[in-house]
Amino acid sequence: MFRNDARGLRRLGCLSRALFLGWGLLIALVALFTPQAAWAACVDGQQESCSDNGCLGTRICQGTAWGDCEFNGASTNSCSVCGRSGNQLCTTGASLEGGGSPIAGSCSARGAERCNNCDDDGDGLVDENASNDGPMVNGPCQSGSGCPGTSTCTNGALQCVHQVGARVSCGSATDVVCANATAACKADGTLAACQSPVVGPETCNGCDDDRDGVVDNAPGSSAPLQRECESTAGMCPGSQQACMKETVNGYTTRYWSACTSLAESCNGLDDDCDGSIDEGNICRVAEQVCSCQPRTCAQQGKNCGVIEDGCGWPMDCGTCGSGAVCGGGGTPNVCAGICTPLPQAQACQGKCGTVSNGCTGFYACGGCNAPQTCGGGGAPNVCGCTPSPYATACAGKNCGSVPDLCGGTYVCGSTGACTSPQTCGGGGSPNVCGCTIIPSATACAGKNCGSVSNGCGGSYVCGSCSGVNSCGGGGTANVCGCTPMSVAEACEEQECGAATNGCGANVSCGTCFPGTTCKGGICQGNPDGVSDEPVSR
């Protein structure tokens, strides 16, 4: 029984060895008749797309194995910026060198900052200007009242930010006010009260003459300005008229209202303001008995000529002594010496406008040369000019020189200059540091990759390269390209077959002599059985 078992085991061992040899022979035959390329993962120099974590790139076959993926910075990972769709950016280069990693917070939809209440360029600021020191501006603007300002991005929209305190002319052909009137601009672009060039008592002229902030008002009150009436006979005590404003058919006028006066009484005054004093025999009774108390010449401040006694009867105040003339000083019924007018040259010396001749006449002394006006410096009848305050002249400005409205200038800002890349007025607003951003289309014209300056300290991304191309690789900045390697550089130690030139094409590294074969870039075998000759040619 044991012999039979041993023979069975020997037969089983022989069968196993036979099967093993059979499989080995089969494998050898398949390997012998199968082309080498069928066993390779790829063909030398072949290219294909690759990706990792959504990052896109290209890899090239080196010999029979794929090389490392070269990432181009693009990805398929979607993102959005301020409502615009895009794709996340990735690090570039080979994966072994850090390429192929999504860049947190990046998005191809980012670009130059816009006025939209959103951070378009991803710098953490919203609607900022090019120098990141304030809101975005878009040149000068003006309100309907003529107030100047700067178009400034506010809450995602451009709004005119007016220069508070800037003075502009006011009044018009349909709303006549005092001559040479100006008004200060308010924050909302409307005008404060019109003001006359020189401070003075309030009058009915549509201007705030006394600078209390209210037009044509009674002193210390917001009520309309009032005055006592006057007739040809003089002032009318107890009477009153108010400054009125009326608009008819689009034209606005200001005038004194009708006089509200008292009834006439026997007092030597024109109470009812009709030009007559104590008229209508008001000072006499029916019995012709005088009930009026006449007023003497002394009581009326007169000392010559004939005047009324206040009761309707004439009264002679006498004559003047030697060298005096009745009314000679300019006051009726008062004795005075004969007045000798001053020469015009003397009366007008250092003066402008209309001045007294020292008696009852006047001289016209002429006007002033701009920018001075008569009384403009605060002294009546003297040419002068009140400069605009520095804070007013430079309001909303931070560079350059501005006029002080009196022939001089102020330098706005600490030095009057701007910090590069900004220039004074460069953003479109005079005397405001700014910079005009180069449009993306202009900055990226003729370019298709990398970052370029926007001319104002920012930048644009003009795109990215793919495949074997790199940004500037062809020798032109911001243009995708590739500089091919020379044959010597591409082949290095390879003596036969093809090698990639680094730009998607292959170069020939040589051929082998007959009797030899190219394997892995090396000629193998003996040419015609000779072992001491080169195997490539």
DSSP notation for 274-329: SS-SS-TTTTB-TT--B-S----TTTTT--SSEEE-SSS-EEE-----TTEEETTT
The average pLDDT across 217-239 equals 89
Question: Which residues constitute the domain of residue 503?
Answer: 488-537
476/492 same-domain check: no
pLDDT in tens, 496-511: 988 888 888 888 888 8
The average pLDDT across 356-372 equals 80
Residue 425 domain flag: no
C-beta separation of 433 from 424 below 8 A? yes
- What is the model's pLDDT at position 360? 62
d(CA 195, CA 177) in angstroms, rounded, equals 9
pLDDT in tens, 24-52: 455 444 344 444 434 457 998 899 999 99
142/253 same-domain check: yes
Q: What percent of the chain has pLDDT over 90?
A: 30
Which residue among 83, 110, 137 closes a domain?
Answer: 110
Would the pLDDT of 16 be above 70? no
Residue 195 domain flag: yes
Instruction: Report the 10 Å Cβ neighbour count for 51.
Output: 15
Residue 142 domain flag: yes
Q: Which residues pair with 325 in a beta bridge?
A: 336
133/252 same-domain check: yes
Residue 537 domain flag: yes
Residue 224 domain flag: no
Would the pLDDT of 446 be above 90? no
The average pLDDT across 133-156 equals 91
Per the structure, the count of domains in the chain is 4
Q: Which helix (H) or strand (E) holds 33?
A: helix 2-33
Would the pLDDT of 10 be above 70? no
Would the pLDDT of 277 be above 90? no
60/172 same-domain check: no
pLDDT in tens, 326-342: 877 778 888 887 777 88
Q: At 7, is the pLDDT very low, low, confident or very high (cuts 50, 70, 90)?
A: very low
Would the pLDDT of 290 be above 70? no
- What is the model's pLDDT at position 88? 93
248/138 same-domain check: yes
Instruction: Report the 10 Å Cβ neighbour count for 190.
Output: 13
165/243 same-domain check: yes
Would the pLDDT of 86 be above 90? yes
Residue 423 domain flag: no
Q: Which residues contact 19 (CB under 8 A, 6 or more apart)?
A: none
Average pLDDT, the chain: 83
- What is the model's pLDDT at position 498? 86
- What is the model's pLDDT at position 69? 92
Which residue among 110, 140, 172 closes a domain?
Answer: 110
d(CA 357, CA 364) in angstroms, rounded, equals 10
Q: Write the CA distances from 316 to 1, 46, 305, 333, 369, integer angstroms.
A: 188, 135, 6, 10, 53
Q: Which residues contact 82 (CB under 8 A, 6 or more apart)?
A: 109, 114, 116, 118, 119, 120
- Start-to-end CA distance of the chain, whole Å, equals 72
- What is the model's pLDDT at position 392? 87
Closest CA to 46 of 473, 472, 527, 467: 467
Residue 185 domain flag: yes
The average pLDDT across 508-533 equals 78
User: Has this prediction a pTM greater than 0.95?
Assistant: no
The average pLDDT across 512-517 equals 86
157/98 same-domain check: no
- What is the model's pLDDT at position 11? 44
